[in-house]
Chain A
Amino acid sequence: MRISTNQIFDQSLSAMLNQQAALSQTQNQISTGKRILNPSDDPAGSVQALNLQRELSLTEQYGANATAATNKLQGEESALKSAADILQRIRELAVQGLNDSNTQQDRKAIAVEINQLNQQLFSLANTRDSNGDYLFSGFASNTQPYETIFGAYQGDEGQRNLKVGADVLVETNDPGSAVFEVPIADTIITDNSLLPSDISVSVVGDSNVGSTFDQLTFTFTEDVLTPGVFTVEISDADGNTTTVDYEAGARLDLGELNTNFPNMSVSLSGTPVDADSLTLERSLSNIPQPIFQTISNFADALANDQVGPDDSPNNGLFLSNMSAALENIVDKRARIGGRINAIEQQATVNEALSFSLEKSISEISDLDYAEAITRLTQQLTGLEASQQTFSRVQGLSLFNFL
């Protein structure tokens, strides 16, 4: 085949230009470390990388959310831990104060300490986080949940959820109404005597703390043969009855007398008249009461020395109410612990996911340096060869010999 002189030039030139273009692409790849410089280098791969990048960015945001959630929950957890410690201490003081060996002065002193602790508890319920938001007011983060010890809860029921994983939402707060308020129990004694009398009933032992039971009626009947000697008929609303001899101050274990009765011990006292009766009932109020109010009421009763077994409502139940409040807070703490655990587990999952996403992205879009450098060397050799060939071929001309 005939070759024209220009063809020799053009071919060598375009060969060199092509090699330079390929070399420049390799050089760019090596200097950026990326295999895909433009989406068109690998359309499928670059779209996949976009999607993976989005997943990665989401997963990293879930990680940031998890940190925020953990911080919030740890704040709440430490407030609740302090609250539980304070409640525990108040309960100890209450036990001490209820001890009969105390004088009224002693009780006043204890009441003062209880009030101080109650104030601390109250301020814990109004804790704010680093942003100045109240921890225990639900969504109403700028509203002080309890304005006074006797005030009602001012916040709302909102629970803020944070997203710590795809479809994993974690609650990061609890409204104060669910933390610091529990239904309280009261024991109510009613004297049904026709004439004024000094009979009374008091609860002396109670293994059934905090629970309700049906109304119990104690009816005194004077022995017709032996005036001044009484029997007591104990009955409940279901018609279960048991009759015992009356002995003032004696301890009656109701659960042992009749299996239908609650497991508690009472003692009766005073001088009854025939047909006198007393009722004893314990109501569990359905309306929850802020614990500060319960404590404050108790402290007042303690200061006024009105904590005897005969005082109605019987402040002896304070202990069981305290237990219920403490139990509620401990339960909330346990749930927070559970949520923190769940977040930590999700964080582990997120980290593993991030790692594998980064690996996939790297596999798709990052450069295999060994391969690229081999390619670079190859292309350099090729280009040098083309250049040398060009100068050699161009040197050949018949005109050199004329």
Chain B
Amino acid sequence: MSILNIGTSALLTTQGALATTSHNISNVNTEGFNRQRVEQGTRIPDFNGGFFTGTGVQIDSVQRLFDQFLADQVRLFTSQQQQSATFTTFSKQLDDLLGSESLSLSSGMDSFFDATQAVADDPTSIAARQVMLTEAETLTNRFNTLDTQLTAANNQINLNLRAAVSDINSLAQGIADANRAITEAAGAPGVPPNDLLDTRDQLINDLSKLVSVSVVEQSNGVFNVFIGSGQPLVSGNTINRLATIEDPADANRLQIAFGANKVNISNQLNGGKVGGLLSVRKDVLDTARAEIDALAAGLASAINQQHRTGLTLDGNAGGNLFSLPDPLPADWPKGAAGAISVAVSNPRDLAVAFPVAVQTTVNNLGTGGLTVEAVNGGDPGFQANNVLSLPVTLTYNAIAQVYDVDQGGTSIGSFAYNPSTDSGREFDLNNVGLTTGLPLTIKLEGVPQTDDNFTISNNFINGNFTATGDNRNALALAELQVKKTLDPLNTGTATQTFGDAYGILVANVATRTKQAEAGQAAQQGLLDQTRQRYDAVSGVNLDEEAANLIKFQQSYQAAAQIITVSNTIFDTLINSF
């Protein structure tokens, strides 16, 4: 073997090394590129007599520097980080919405109740009543706007899910195609199709941004990709497509279906953008919507009930202040925040007066007093303009310490009142053992004498409504602001005011968002660290490549010198003849 041949082998090998270095340099910014290295070895030596002489150098293979373990880790953390990031983006959007002063239900409710108190201050003022109506409209508008925004967020999630599913399908197709190309291109063992492998790895990385995947390598180098709880998205050259389907319970919530049979696998998917979208919808959006709907429904029904017990400025029974669907849908209060609106348009129709009045007889000698604290209008047959078919008279008997009650002259029983212990106590006349229950809660005080009496009758004088200055129902409406009226856990006892409920809603979203932000930072940190370790193995360093360039350039120059020497010694030999 001549040194010419050896020199040539060195030149060819060095050219290969230079080409690989150039390839590395030129792909420094290529996403998913793993740096490559020429593996070179000595050629098979010649056996000349008793010894071997070397025959030069050859390229054994071009390898990519790649660590499968680190690559798997990067994918895992990419999925988790994407899930956190997507969750945070949407959660923050809701957080912004609830924190916005101009959309705040809290200030909307405060203004409405303030306006109610202003009407109580001045029940005959049409201006004050108009302000209360306007504030009621502002409040319902805020509920409606919030609902619109939450619906928009839900639609945005749907759009994103559709886009993600379409991306997943095309990535899956890309991986299947890469599988085929790799099988076809695979040469002898140890001669890997590096750039095709890079492409496939990059496709899987992109896929893991959308959803968590697990990858199983077959013996022939084919990758099978699984999602969810082991659904084969890619097996060899074939894929199972994902699709979006409507939730049977709610057509506005898209779910993700797998394969030709469209099996719903939403609950099994996690990680990636899809995992983030599904979990933010389940944990934040659905909860927030349910809470806002419950608040809207609770507020409307409590205020309506109080409003219905009152009388308008013209002495008519107060209707509903807020209009709600009739009949209520089966899944009520779902959709309440979007449906709520103000039913009253004329400020005179605000029911500010109580439907009953008390007359004290001038002959009363004691210090007894009676006030109607509440009219209980929950009964279906209740009519605010005719609460008491006949006037009710309470006459005290100081010896027996009882109030005898008669209605229209007919006794309907009696109940005990002991001035020394009961003064200032409230009595629910539906619940003190009268033969005819009365929908009134009264407060009795002082020390009445025998035959002292009080008469409670409809708030009409000779059939005419004159009590235009009566503000008791407005006071009762305003009281709802600080009264616990909501019973979210159905315990039978109201545990929350409207403000409490809104505070809990804001706190829930805010806490979730804060958690998600912290989680995202942690996931990002993990991903960055892993990516650094991965890049430490596979990433291109230009300084390193520059050094290699110099090194291989020098090798090439040296190999070229071998050719020159070979030429010189050949000349020497020729010239000697």
A residues lining the B interface (CB < 8 Å):
1-7, 11, 14, 36-41, 43-44, 46-47, 50-51, 53-54, 57-58, 60-61, 64-65, 68-69, 131-133, 137-143, 155-158, 160-163, 166, 169, 173, 286-288, 397-399, 402
Contacts and interface: CB of A to CB of B under 8 A. Distances in A.
A143 B538 CA distance: 94
A397 B541 contact: no
A287 B459 CA distance: 24
Judged by DSSP, the binding face of A is mixed
A38 B507 contact: no
Interface string B438-482: 000000000000000000000101000011111110010010011
A139 B353 CA distance: 9
A64 B120 CA distance: 11
27 contacts: A2-B544, A3-B536, A3-B539, A4-B536, A6-B28, A6-B539, A38-B99, A39-B99, A39-B510, A40-B91, A40-B99, A40-B509, A40-B511, A44-B507, A50-B106, A50-B499, A51-B503, A53-B106, A53-B107, A54-B110, A54-B481, A61-B118, A140-B467, A156-B467, A157-B360, A160-B469, A162-B471
A292 to B, nearest CB: 18
A173 to B, nearest CB: 8
Contacts of B461: 140, 156
Interface string B530-559: 011001111111111011011000000000
B131 interface: no
A158 B546 contact: no
A209 to B, nearest CB: 21
7 closest pairs, A vs B, by CB? A4-B539, A141-B469, A39-B510, A43-B510, A139-B467, A40-B513, A140-B466
Nearest to A68: B121
Contacts of B359: 156-157
B503 A50 contact: yes
Interface in B329-358: 353, 357-358
A38 B469 contact: no
Nearest to B521: A18
A43 B508 CA distance: 8
A163 B475 contact: yes
B407 to A, nearest CB: 20
Nearest to B96: A38
Contact of A133 (B124, B506, B514): B124
A61 B114 contact: yes
A54 B95 contact: no
Contact of B122 (A51, A60, A131, A287): A131
Contacts of A131: 122, 124-125
Contacts of A169: 475
Contacts, number: 194
Contacts of A60: 114
Contacts of A37: 99
Contacts of A3: 535-536, 539, 541
Interface string B129-161: 000000000000000000000000000000000
Contacts of A43: 506-507, 510-511, 514
B514 A40 contact: yes
A156 B458 CA distance: 12
B117 A61 contact: yes
Contacts of A6: 28-29, 535, 539-540
B223 interface: no
A169 B459 CA distance: 22
Contacts of B504: 47
Contacts of B171: none
Given A65-B121, A158-B357, 16 more contacts: A3-B539, A5-B539, A38-B99, A40-B95, A54-B110, A57-B110, A58-B481, A137-B469, A139-B467, A140-B468, A157-B358, A158-B470, A162-B120, A163-B478, A173-B469, A397-B546
Contacts of B509: 39-40
Contact of B546 (A7, A132, A398): A398
A155 B470 CA distance: 12
Contacts of B28: 5-6
A7 B543 contact: no
